[in-house]
Chains A and B, each alone.
Chain A
Amino acid sequence: MHNILVITLYAFIVSFVMYVISAVVKQKFLQMIGLVFFFIALVLNSIVVYNRWAESGHAPFSNLYESLVFFAWSIAIVFFLMEVVTLAVRYNTGNRLRVIGAIQSLLALAMICYAAFGADDAIRPLMPALQSNWMSIHVTVYFLGYAALSVSFAAGIVYLVTRAITGEGKANATATNGGVAKAITYDKLGYVAVSIGFPFLTFGIISGAVWAKSAWGTYWSWDPKETWSLITWLFYLVYLHLPFAIPRLNIKRTTWPILFSLVLVISFPTVLFTYVGLKYLPSAQDSDHIYGVE
């Protein structure tokens, strides 16, 4: 299985390189090759996830190794679908996804890389609290949400970088490639990604609460993991409300996207922190959630 994981890694690397080159030389052809390799990586990654599931006998996200592989898979499936839909619906503006594709491949390959060479891939039996059907629902929903939000993060970064380089107004022009009428800009892509991912975040919290009720008797106990999932949710909630609040403030219209993108760039690290960072909290010792990750 380790070999397939390594091949997956190579596929993501090729896809990353193709996306980067296609973004630089602006070649649709290369973008397509990138997408093909991304798809190959997705298929291989699916095989790894499926095999792990079959081998361990439980949904494969009970430890860091499994969740990393699954996170990479979520990123792959979500971005692949986004790209396919975008190319099908708006063939002309699909090129904005080149840079995003590069970033998503990079994220996925980083996770696969760490899973393959840095994480303990031993299969261990599930502890009693995790032996529930809620686990597969809860975790799958969350990772799909995280994957969509990672796209918003990438979009936020790209927007800020292009804006910093090309200056006001041009950031969107470069993205639209010749002024197609219905251009989607990076800040708007970020918003689309959040509106795909945010509902999953919400379902994730709710399924977690219902599960906690059935396992521990309380749907909410301000456990650090719960609290941080709420913090993450609140950040994106703030982001979603900003477009309504901002017109009331004395801020130039052209700086709005900067603000939105900034919030996106700040919010995603809270997602990652909720996922792997909680063990560094002083309150981690009180948590029922923090285990498995070493």
Chain B
Amino acid sequence: MKNKNKVISKDAKPKAKKNQGFWLWQFLSSVKLAVVVLFLVAVSCVLGTFILQGRTPQEYVARYGDGWGNFLQTVQFTKVFSAIWFYILLSMLCLNLLVCALKRWRNTILQFGFLATHLSLILIMIGSMVDGIYGRKGAINLLEGQKVQHFYTYDGMKKIPMEFELLLDDFELVKHEPKFELIAYVKKKDKERKISTKVGVVQKVVSSPYKVTVKKYIPDAELKREPINTAKELKNPAVFVQFLNLGRMDSEGWLLAQHRNWYEPLGKGLRIEYVWTKTDEERQKVVSSEIKDDSSENKKEGLLVVNLKDRDRSLEYPFRIGEHYNVGNSEYHIQILEYVGDFSNRQLPIDQQTNDNPAAKIEIHGPDGNEERWLFANYPEWDEMHETKYKNINLLFKAPGSVPGMKHLIRIVQDSNGENVLLYYLDKKKVEEKKWELDKIYNVGDSGYQIKLTKYFQSFGFREEVVQRSDTPNNPAIFVETSGPSGMVSEWLFAKEKRAWWYDDENLALLYQEEREMIKDFKSKLSVLVDGEVVKTKVIEVNDPLSYGGLDFYQANYDPNNPKFSGIQISSHPGIPIVYSGFIILCIGIVFIFYIKPFIKKSRQKKRKEMAHA
């Protein structure tokens, strides 16, 4: 630094003549001016990014208010980079650079870097100016097979003819292979995190006590559930009941004493119950008891609760399939479409489903069209947590128990000692009582109905087996082992299920899903035609344009909804050779100044010192 300062003061002396031209010369070549102009350019740039550029006057008034909006536009702060004062600043910089370079021109090797950097900047600015004046920038939107001979510029939408025709032969949108991701959500922190699905690697859910390990991966999985007897002890007694109508099989399914312990064949006025008792006494009680008219448990009807958030109102409707409701005085109309006893086995007939995960499908008709939603009786927070169209409506659903007033009631009673009793009530009056055995057919009074119990499990359970259907990732599934404060839990997660799985402490949720679709590449096969003859063909893609006749064609856009559409950007930059030469000279100059010159200087100093010593 000291040396450089000396150079300046040496320069200043011989030219210390006082006249007007000299003053201007001195001013234009001064470093002070350079520093000030550089600073002003920097400040303008800051302004140009903090104030939105190139918007409509209305937008500015709306954003900054009347006074400020108009002021910013008057002083061209709303188009800094094309403002007159900005160009004056740049011209000033250019002039400063030039005068400075001329003034300090020395034909010594040490000056090379200085001249190269300063003159190259002038080149770059001149080149950009040439582009600004003679350059063109515009766009063409083409459909496959379409030809054009002109394009429209971005500024002012001028129609510019081309000396040739451009044909889009083909457009190709390349997508990435579908990818699936595992998301962990920690409720208390309200944080979502993506977890690697690498098999066998323990993944810590960052800043939480959970560890997640993907144990298995199946690209195309299917869950098969088969009822089995899991133990000899009485844990979860179940009977398999067949219901026959006039000797023909009507329906069949499992009744679980501790879960879904009843079944009502559709439209038969019949209810079958499976009652399991621990002791003899209990059994006696059940057998001898009369059916009360309003046993509340039996009467429980499903309920649909509609919360209108903006009104802070909650409305209740009876849950009846097919029913329509106008929600209060609101613009919404709700229809109950479907009911399933167990959502994950909803493909089974309703009577074969357990009552484990009752769900209802609801349709909301509103001002923006229809929306379908699934509601889960056991997961009331589900509706709140998921993306919905009508965010104003929050729905809750209470699963129906049973419909009262059945004509026929069959009670299959069993106790832990293996005592079996079959009870038949007609119009709530006990008509029959007998012991039952497996695989025997029992008549339901004179109704013509019959039932048959074919299987009995002391401990009903499912053998769940996830099987691989194919190698293509149609429905990928991962078997995930999660450990945390509530111990270790393993679970299959299916990408297509789109349902989060909650860990026992209800703080961690895992969701396995397909990633947002990403475009890998998009390509256009373009042909240039002169007089109908193809003279050039190239497949362009992002980062690889086609050049012809002074114009460059860039792949710019695609339309996700139209696979035949290609958006092409066109530019011509006649100033490019000047700008790029500037770039090259600037690089060489900079390298020289900072990485070469110091060493030349040092070696010269060393030589001088040695000379002095000698």
Residues of A within 8 A of B (CB): 2, 116-117, 120-122, 124-125, 127-129, 131-132, 134, 188, 191, 195-196, 198-199, 202-203, 206, 209-210, 213-220, 222, 224, 227-228, 230-231, 234-235, 237-238, 241-245, 247-249, 278, 281-283, 286
Contacts and interface: CB of A to CB of B under 8 A. Distances in A.
Residues of B in contact with A, size category: 35 or more
Interface in B167-224: 176, 179, 181, 193-194, 196, 204, 206-207
Interface stretch (B30-38, B303-311, B418-426, B455-463): B30-38
By CB atoms of chain B within 10 A, which of A122, A224, A230 has the most?
A122
Contact of B594 (A195, A219, A283): A195
Nearest to B81: A222
B52 interface: yes
Contacts of B181: 122
Nearest to A120: B194
B467 interface: no
A245 B9 CA distance: 11
Contacts of B51: 282-283
22 contacts: A117-B207, A122-B196, A128-B542, A195-B598, A215-B543, A216-B569, A217-B137, A218-B573, A219-B576, A219-B579, A227-B45, A231-B42, A234-B42, A241-B31, A241-B34, A244-B8, A245-B30, A245-B34, A247-B5, A248-B30, A283-B49, A283-B52
By CB atoms of chain B within 10 A, which of A124, A242, A249 has the most?
A124
A191 B593 CA distance: 13
B590 interface: yes
A202 B590 contact: yes
Contacts of B8: 244, 247
A128 B556 CA distance: 10
B521 A131 contact: yes
A203 B590 CA distance: 9
Given A124-B518, A243-B4, A216 B587 contact: no
Contacts of A281: 49-50
A232 to B, nearest CB: 9
Contact of A244 (B5, B545, B569, B583): B5
Given A122-B196, A125-B179, A230-B42, 13 more contacts: A122-B194, A125-B518, A125-B520, A128-B541, A131-B543, A188-B1, A195-B598, A198-B594, A199-B590, A215-B542, A248-B32, A283-B48, A283-B51
B228 interface: no
Nearest to A194: B594
A278 B49 CA distance: 9
A215 B583 CA distance: 18
Contacts of A227: 45, 48-49, 81
B45 A237 contact: no
Nearest to A211: B543
State the main secondary structure of chain A at its contact with B. helix
A209 B586 CA distance: 13
B128 to A, nearest CB: 7
Contacts of B207: 117
B53 interface: yes
B39 interface: yes
A71 to B, nearest CB: 20
A237 B45 CA distance: 15
A207 to B, nearest CB: 9
A268 B313 CA distance: 55
B301 interface: no
B35 A202 contact: no
A282 B50 contact: yes
Given A216-B569, A217-B552, A283-B49, A234 B32 contact: no
B46 interface: yes
Contacts of B53: 222, 283, 286
Contacts of A244: 4-5, 8, 31
A249 to B, nearest CB: 7
Contacts of B595: 199
Given A214-B544, A238-B39, A243-B4, A230 B45 contact: yes
Interface string B587-600: 10011001100100
B73 interface: no
Given A217-B137, A231-B45, A234-B45, A202 B586 contact: yes
B519 interface: yes
Interface string B519-563: 111100000000000000000011111000000101010000000
Nearest to A243: B1
Contacts of A219: 573, 576, 579
Contacts of A213: 573, 576
A196 B591 CA distance: 10
Contacts of A206: 583, 586-587
B569 A237 contact: no
B545 A214 contact: yes
A228 B49 contact: yes
Contacts of A2: 204
B229 interface: no
By CB atoms of chain B within 10 A, which of A2, A199, A214, A243 has the most?
A199
A245 B35 contact: yes
The 6 closest A-B pairs by CB, nearest first: A122-B194, A128-B542, A217-B571, A234-B42, A244-B31, A245-B31
